[in-house]
Amino acid sequence: MRTAKRGAFIVLEGCDRSGKSSQSRLLYEFLTSNGYPAKHMHFPSRTTEIGSTINSYLKNSKELNDQVIHLLFSANRWEFLKEMQNLLNTGTTLIVDRYSYSGVAYSVAKGMDFDWCMAPEKGLLRPDAVFYLKAPIDYLIQRDDFGRERYEKKDFQSKVANVFDRLCEEQTEFWHSIDASQSEAVVFEDIRLKAMSVLNKAKHKPLCLL
Ligand code: FDM
Ligand code: MG
């Protein structure tokens, strides 16, 4: 893979309503308005055929077994691999709202095996950094819109948080825990500073795979 001046691959992870969407948009806007080529992406991408099936499942209008929906979430990432690789190699930074770690966290929270869940992610691109937006579940469930989709239930979110905590502890080289219960501006300042350092370092590093 080409290494000269590639873009950085930055992922935001966390439970529902932790602020990933707002913060990833703020980071995208900051980068583009300061002359850094960037693209904002979100998984699941509900725009493809696979994404539309995932959407029906999340809205509770379709039932699928746990293994099938897990593999569809993963397949949805594989659909975008080439595009992501091309963008990064031509200097575009990707700000991605959820990725393989959500795939693993939500399925493991159902009781599925960790290694089984990670297996279909092998060969996808590995992020340069994961910003884990962490806040107490009691705080998150009070936020607007919580409870609309399939997984937005307090007990389930606590289990998801446990898996994110474990991933964060095991992968300290590129996971950064961020206190998401602070104000939007304070959280963003933290993310912005960390992101700029990631962008600088990524330029000289080859892209790796999960
Ligand atoms: N989700 C998301 C998964 O269960 N697996 C995955 O691989 C991904 C990317 O889908 F509850 C869950 C997480 C969340 C739901 O995500 C939809 P958004 O961010 O609310 O659209
Ligand atoms: Mg959601």
* 106, 145, 153, best to mutate for ligand 1 pocket (most atoms within 8 Å of CB): 106
Write out the CATH class of domain 9-201: alpha beta
Q: Please report, to the nearest 10 degrees, the dihedral formed by the alpha carbons of residues 1, 105, 14, 162 taken in order.
A: -130
CB distance 64 to 72 below 8 Å: yes
In angstroms, the Cα distances linking 73 to 1, 103, 121 are 26, 7, 10
Predicted confidence (pLDDT) at residue 153 exceeds the cutoff of 70: yes
| Ligand in closest contact with the CA of 78 | 1
State yes or no: pLDDT of 4 exceeds 80: no
Instruction: Tell me if residue 178 falls in helix, strand or coil.
Output: strand
Check whether 5 has a pLDDT greater than 90.
no
Q: Which atom of ligand 1 is nearest to the CA of 21?
A: 19
pLDDT value, residue 155: 96
Which residues touch 98 (CB under 8 Å, ≥6 apart)? 11, 12, 13, 20, 42, 43, 44
Check whether 83 has a pLDDT greater than 50.
yes
The rounded distance, in Å, linking the Cα atoms of 93 and 39 is 6
CA gap 195, 14 in Å, rounded: 17
For ligand 1, residues with CB inside 6 Å are 16, 43-44, 58, 73, 98, 102-103, 106, 149, 151
Cut 0.80: pTM above it: yes
What is the whole-number distance in angstroms between the Cα of residue 152 and the centre of ligand 1? 10
The better pLDDT of the pair 207, 5 is held by 207
